[in-house]
Amino acid sequence: MMKKSVIKYYFLLAVLVVTGCKKSLLDLNPQDRLSLNSYWGSPADADFALNGCYNTLYASGNSYSISMLESQAWDCFTDNAYSQNNSGGCLTITAGGLTPNTGAFQSSYYNNSYSAIGRINNFLANVGRVAPADQLGNYRGQALFLRAFYYFWLTQLYGGVPLTTDDPFTVKYTQKKAAATPAAILTQINSDLDSAISYLPDNPYTDGHIVKGTAQAYKVRVLMYQQKYQDANAMAQQIISGKKFSLNPSYEENFRKPGQNSSKEIMFSVKFQQPNIVHQDGVSITLSMAGWGNFSGTQNMIDFYQCTDGKDTATSAVYVKGQPYANRDPRMRMTFFFPGDGPANGWPFVTAVAPVGTPGLGGWLKGFYLGKKGIDPSIKDPSYSSLDDQDYVQMRYADVLLLNAEALNELGRPADAAPFVNQIRERVNMPDLPVGLSQSQMRDAIRYERRVEFTLEGIRYFDLRRWGIAKQVLDGFVPNPLAPTIKTKYPDNYALWPIPQTEIDFNKPELNQNPGY
């Protein structure tokens, strides 16, 4: 997925569009369709086109400095974090209101997903014309996974959406589409993932190309979304027994280079590589976290972390009043900065802001805790000229373990779930869970683990929604205890996001808006 290949793909795509619109005495190309006459001529075209499919992962989030898949921003829609810069439209949506014209993530996930799906559908329809027979399955498997990936985003956010698997170059681009049911979308997602699993090589995930384990892991995620616990457990066990993936001994190295390059825990990520592929705003992780305070932890999040003896701060024997940040779950300090943090704690500023972390300076809002997870520790005094290339992790093996534990517990097997949770805890030297937890107690333990393990990874919002407790947790939540009158919203209609109004207008009367908008 080098930049040169992506640029060539865009050039070729532009040629396709132009040649499809030319007039001639004998014009064999219908004017309501695009032409394929100038592409798909050699095996190399399959590589360029596949690179174009992967390139969709870098799409903008329609929000200043935020890529669509910069997953940290999703935590700012929850009780985990806060963005004073409205990343992804989080402030507009959680404090103001979600509408068909909100923009940012509300429109970018819809529009970018369909743009990607169109490109992928074209690839799937034509790659067989040029790909060597012994590579065709791998090509198809990668594209099928990406199509499932985007349709899963769509159905999680919007529910029922238009469903198409047709090559866009063979369809009238004025055609209007109605929404398929959520069940139909999920059937397509599962079918694409099953086919991808059958096609893809059973290799570790190394260079950014999707492998069998990537598709299997997303299949687990989709099955858990559907509450198909038996099937999810069976698929997770295939991944675990395959031994292609494992927990990284270093939790932190999953989120920064060079550790990401060799982490056997990462199963899918948006890959970056200096100097060709860097973040949208140059130093969008380091600067937006430390300089702008863009992804800052809430007090509720900090209070949620257990102490090192596995108990909460109210019952722990090792919690010290007056020293609230001592003797806590180690992931807390791996994820956030705290007042007084200096170079030994990874504080990146030497002269530009303050030599130690100080609420009220350098974009650090009082009442919050600056994000630390993923910051490149080698960059000091980060500025717009700084370059960083940390990958945006979309799936980790830790998620497979915890989803497997959740599936087992929901099947009434809490004792069988415990070892998978304990693997996650032992990695950061947290004590094992108490023996003999009930199903309800294990459910709470798993939900604790998912929240602290995946903080600033964009998972919390979708966990709350699939557990059916998003309204309970987020409606009326106070992000900053220093401003108790400011609360977030999560009315009933937020269970489904509104389809962008431009799409409703284009496709009416066939496409209807989601209820409540």
Q: What is the pLDDT of residues 374-399, one digit of tens each?
A: 888 888 887 777 778 899 999 999 99
**Which helix (H) or strand (E) segment is 81 a member of?**
strand 81-82
Domain co-membership, 247 together with 103 = yes
Q: Let me know if residue 241 belongs to a domain.
A: yes
Q: How far apart are CA 91 and CA 68, in angstroms?
A: 16
pLDDT at 21: 35
The total number of structural domains that make up the chain: 2
Q: Let me know if residue 330 belongs to a domain.
A: yes
**Which helix (H) or strand (E) segment is 346 a member of?**
none
Residue 66 bridge partners (DSSP): 63
Q: Let me know if residue 429 belongs to a domain.
A: no
pLDDT at 3: 33
pLDDT at 154: 98
Domain co-membership, 77 together with 139 = yes
pLDDT at 90: 96
pLDDT tens digit sequence for 360-369? 987 899 999 9
pLDDT tens digit sequence for 287-332? 445 567 788 999 999 999 999 999 999 999 999 999 999 999 999 9
pLDDT above 70 covers what percent of the chain? 90
Domain co-membership, 99 together with 56 = yes
Q: Let me know if residue 455 belongs to a domain.
A: no
The enclosing domain of 79 has a CATH number of 1.25.40.390
Give the mean model confidence (pLDDT) for residues 144-162: 98
pLDDT at 35: 53
Q: Let me know if residue 240 belongs to a domain.
A: yes
Domain co-membership, 209 together with 264 = yes
At 243, the pLDDT band (50, 70, 90 cuts) reads very high
Q: How far apart are CA 501 and CA 101, in angstroms?
A: 6
Domain co-membership, 332 together with 380 = yes
Cβ pair 119, 329 in contact under 8 A: no
Domain that holds residue 326: 281-390
Domain co-membership, 106 together with 227 = yes
pLDDT at 281: 60
In this structure, the strands spanning 60-63 and 66-67 are antiparallel
The DSSP code for 95 is: I
Residue 393 bridge partners (DSSP): 269
Pick 279 or 74 by higher pLDDT.
74
Domain co-membership, 375 together with 260 = no
At 37, the pLDDT band (50, 70, 90 cuts) reads low
Query: What are the two backbone dihedrals, phi and then psi, of residue 63, each rounded to the nearest 5 degrees?
Result: -145, 135
Residue at a domain's end among 222, 245, 275: 275
pLDDT at 27 over 80: no
Q: Let me know if residue 71 belongs to a domain.
A: yes
Domain co-membership, 259 together with 341 = no
Domain co-membership, 53 together with 115 = yes
Q: How many residues does the chain have?
A: 517
Q: Let me know if residue 32 belongs to a domain.
A: yes
Judged by DSSP in three states, 297 sits in strand
Q: Let me know if residue 459 belongs to a domain.
A: no
pLDDT above 90 covers what percent of the chain? 78
Question: How far is residue 20 from each of residues 17, 23, 27, 31, 495, measured CA to CA in Å?
Answer: 5, 9, 9, 7, 41
Of the candidates 39, 43, 34, the residue with the CA atom closest to the CA atom of residue 9: 39
Domain co-membership, 271 together with 347 = no
Residue 279 bridge partners (DSSP): 282
Domain co-membership, 89 together with 35 = yes
Residue at a domain's end among 218, 249, 275: 275
Q: Who's near 397: CB < 8 A, 6+ residues apart?
A: 217, 239, 245, 246, 247, 264, 265, 266, 267
Confirm whether pTM is higher than 0.85. Answer: yes
Question: How far is residue 488 from each of residues 85, 420, 478, measured CA to CA in Å?
Answer: 16, 34, 7
Residue at a domain's end among 339, 363, 390: 390
Q: Who's near 370: CB < 8 A, 6+ residues apart?
A: 289, 290, 293, 296, 297, 336, 337, 357, 363, 364
Question: How far is residue 238 from each of residues 152, 234, 245, 423, measured CA to CA in Å?
Answer: 22, 7, 11, 17
pLDDT at 1: 34
Domain co-membership, 151 together with 289 = no
pLDDT at 65: 65
pLDDT at 64: 66
At 463, the pLDDT band (50, 70, 90 cuts) reads very high
